[in-house]
Structures are given as structure tokens and as C-alpha cells.
Amino acid sequence: MIPLVFYLGLSALLFSIGIYGVMTHKNGIRMIMCIELMLNSANLNLVAFSSYTGTLNGQVFAIFSIALAAAEAAVGFAIFMAIYRMHDKINLDELKILRW
């Protein structure tokens, strides 16, 4: 059987990729995709721990977390649509009317 640590390592890798994406991409939609990646790496952790400790709580949490991710993505994309309608752009580093 595969040791738990490999699941954790995979999850860490996925999370880092997500972080890297968030840090480098300027496009809002890509950033949301990367955030989803990070969320899912956390879900992977939850499910892995759940399996390896013989309780189902973690899997329930994972389901909740997926549902919340859906809500978050929906709101996020709606915000981007509103921003796009107003400014005709989606690159977050160009939206700096509130900056110094």
C-alpha cells in the first residue's frame, strides 16, 4: 500500500504549483484557477487523512470544501465580470485606482 506521506507530498506539490500560479499570473481568471488548485490540494489531504485514520469526517469536510469552492468561484467570476464591464480589462495589476 502507498504510504500516507506520498499523498501529502503530492498535495504539497499541487499547492506549490497553485501558489506559483497565483504569484506569477496577472490574469484574474487564471488566478482563480490556481486558487482552486490550492483548495483541491487541501481536499486531497483531507481525504488522505480520512482514509488512513479510518474515519469518514475528513471526507465530509472535503465535500463541504468543494461546495464552498464552487460558491467562491461563482462570486469571484461574477466580480471579474463586473470589473471587466467597467474597465474593459481583467489583469489585476492594471487595476490600481485605489493605490498610491
Partner 1 sequence: MQTNRLLPFLVSLLFVAVVVIGAFGTSWNTVSELPGNPADQSNIEGIGMLIFTQYAAPFEVLSVVLLASLIGAIYMAKGEGNK
Partner 2 sequence: MVKTALEEFAFLIPILPALAFVITFFFGKKMPAGGAIFPILAIAGSFVISFMITLRMLGNPEEVISQSHSWFAVLNFGVLIDPLAAVMLSMVSFVSLLIHIYAVSYMSHDPGKPRYFAETALFTAAMLSLVLSDNILQFFVSWELVGLCSYLLIGFWFEKPSAAAAAKKAFLTTRVGDVMFLTGIIILTSDLLKLAGGFQDGTYLLRFDEIFSYIPQLSALQANIFGFEISHLTIITLLFFGGAIGKSGQFPLHVWLPDAMEGPTTVSALIHAATMVTAGVYLVARTFPMFIAAPDSLMVVAYLGGFTALFAGTMGIVMNDLKRVLAYSTISQLGYMMLGLGLGSVIGLEAVGVSIFHLINHAFFKALLFLCAGSVIHAVGTQDMRELGGVGKVMPITAVTMTIAALSLAGFGIPGTLIGTSGFFSKDPIIEAAYIFGEHSNNWIPYLFSIAAAFLTSAYIFRLIFMTFTGKPRSNYHGHESPAIMTVPLAILALFALVFGGLTRTGFMAFLEETFTNSFVNLNIGNLAGIGRNELIGTTGNEPLLILWLPLIVALAGLAIAFLIYYLRVVKLGPLASMKNPIYRLLYKRYYQHEIYTEFLSLGIVYGVIAFLTQVIDVIIDSIVEAFGIITVGVSEELRKVQTGVVQNYATAVIAGVGLLIILVKLIMEVI
Q: How many positions of this chain bind partner 1 (CB under 8 A)?
A: 39
The listed partner (partner 1, partner 2, none) that binds 13, CB under 5 to 8 Å by sort, is partner 1
Q: Which of 29, 68, 87, 89 binds partner 1 (CB under 8 A)?
A: 68
Of 1, 96, 97, 100, the one binding partner 1 by CB under 8 A: 1
Q: How far is CA 2 from CA 8, 9, 17, 47, in A?
A: 11, 12, 23, 14
Choose the contact partner of 42 out of partner 1, partner 2, none; CB within 5 to 8 A by kind. Answer: none
In 3D, which of 42, 37, 3, 45 has the Cα closest to residue 17? Answer: 37
Site string for partner 2, 29-68 (x = CB under 8 A): --x-------------------------------------
Q: Beta partners for 91?
A: 27
DSSP string, 6-37: HHHHHHHHHHHHHHHHHHH--BHHHHHHHHHH
